[in-house]
């Protein structure tokens, strides 16, 4: 049974007697099934909202949530079965399962609990429908029927669906967190060099403290997306460090005058050289105005900085402090 008004999801396991055609509800099996499903829903709610809780509170919350099964069966006329009772009951579940920090956090947890329950309830209905399981509507709730100790579809959903949903949700939350963190530090960037202009997206790299030891200029880093706006692919290949070291004289005069080799250390490896160009200006567009850095060094990265091309430049963090507002 999936009760969409209360945000509850549970299944009645029934069997027909040979005489009288009565339906028998195996309460212990149904209660266990819904206890597991409630635990899954609360775990996903905690993962989405990052709510503070403990194993004891989560187990207690799942147990309280599962008590709606005997209440619905033995007290169908109880006020808890009504709309107001369902709202109160779902709030009580959240209060038991998670530590109270603020009214806003409580409301977000409550809404997320409903959202996840509706999503899982809809998935259950879809699976039941796909497998041609008997479904009927009773008292505003969706009821599925099967023989024996529990609906095999529901048990399969809990045994297989819970681990998969938990792992997938945790992975997606981590991805969203990283993506959000990146977006907060990504800006539109304009690079001017030798009378030409290139545009790209730049990420403020707090770990980038690279400066030229001779000129003390900040070193930025850009990948091929930006450099191809200045050079052809053949010219860009000539800017590989081995070629610059051995055949710098073969480069055009405007490139020769701009090239600087900057020593750097990466992943514990010392003695590396980075090919950089002395560009005219880098401009970073921010909400509070444009930040400019004149005559910085821009490193040449032949590969993409990120596989999704979310950004194409690593911005030196000191620019955000020392850059001149325009």
Answer yes or no: are the C-beta atoms of 180 and 269 closer than 8 Å: no
Residue 12 region by backbone torsions, left for phi larger than 0, else alpha for psi between -120 and 50, else beta: beta
Pairing of strands 313-315, 196-204: parallel
Helix (H) / strand (E) containing 270: strand 269-278
205 in active site: yes
Answer yes or no: are the C-beta atoms of 36 and 12 closer than 8 Å: no
Q: Distance between CA atoms of 153 and 151, rounded to whole angstroms?
A: 5
Joined together, the tokens standing for residue 150 give: 């529990």
Q: Distance between CA atoms of 297 and 194, rounded to whole angstroms?
A: 14
Task: Please identify which residue in the block is written with the tokens 């706006």.
Answer: 229
Q: Distance between CA atoms of 31 and 232, rounded to whole angstroms?
A: 68
Joined together, the tokens standing for residue 148 give: 């024996």
Q: Which of 205, 250, 253, 308 is catalytic?
A: 205
Residue 259 region by backbone torsions, left for phi larger than 0, else alpha for psi between -120 and 50, else beta: beta
Q: Which of 243, 194, 216, 233 is nearest to 297 (CA)?
A: 216
Beta bridge mates, 189: 200, 284
Catalytic residues: 205
């Amino acid at each position: 049974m999936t009760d969409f008004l209360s945000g509850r999801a549970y299944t009645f396991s029934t069997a027909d007697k040979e005489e009288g055609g009565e339906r028998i509800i195996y309460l212990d099996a149904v209660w266990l099934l819904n206890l597991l499903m409630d635990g899954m829903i609360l775990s996903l709610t905690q993962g989405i909202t990052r709510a503070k809780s403990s194993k004891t509170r989560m187990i207690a919350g799942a147990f309280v949530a599962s008590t709606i099964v005997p209440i619905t069966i033995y007290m169908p006329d109880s006020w808890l079965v009504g709309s107001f009772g369902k709202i109160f009951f779902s709030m009580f579940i959240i209060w038991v399962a998670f530590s109270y920090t603020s009214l806003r956090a409580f409301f977000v947890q409550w809404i997320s609990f409903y959202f996840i329950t509706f999503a899982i309830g809809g998935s259950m209905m879809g699976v039941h429908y796909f497998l041609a399981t008997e479904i009927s509507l009773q008292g505003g709730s969706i009821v599925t029927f099967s023989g024996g100790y529990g609906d095999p579809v529901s048990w399969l959903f809990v045994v297989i669906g819970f681990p998969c949903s938990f792992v997938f949700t945790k992975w997606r939350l981590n991805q969203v967190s990283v993506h959000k963190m990146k977006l907060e530090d990504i800006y539109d960037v304009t690079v001017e060099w030798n009378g030409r202009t290139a545009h790209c997206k730049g990420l403020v790299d707090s770990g980038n403290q690279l400066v030229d030891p001779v000129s003390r200029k900040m070193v930025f880093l850009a990948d091929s997306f930006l450099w191809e706006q200045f050079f052809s692919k053949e010219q860009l290949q000539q800017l590989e460090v081995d070629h610059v070291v051995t055949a710098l004289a073969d480069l055009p005069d405007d490139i020769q005058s701009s090239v600087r080799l900057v020593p750097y250390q990466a992943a514990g490896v010392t003695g590396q050289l980075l090919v950089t160009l002395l560009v005219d200006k880098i401009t970073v567009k921010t909400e509070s105005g444009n930040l400019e850095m004149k005559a910085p060094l821009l490193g040449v990265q032949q590969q993409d900085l990120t596989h999704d091309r979310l950004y194409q430049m690593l911005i030196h963090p000191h620019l955000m402090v020392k850059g001149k507002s325009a």
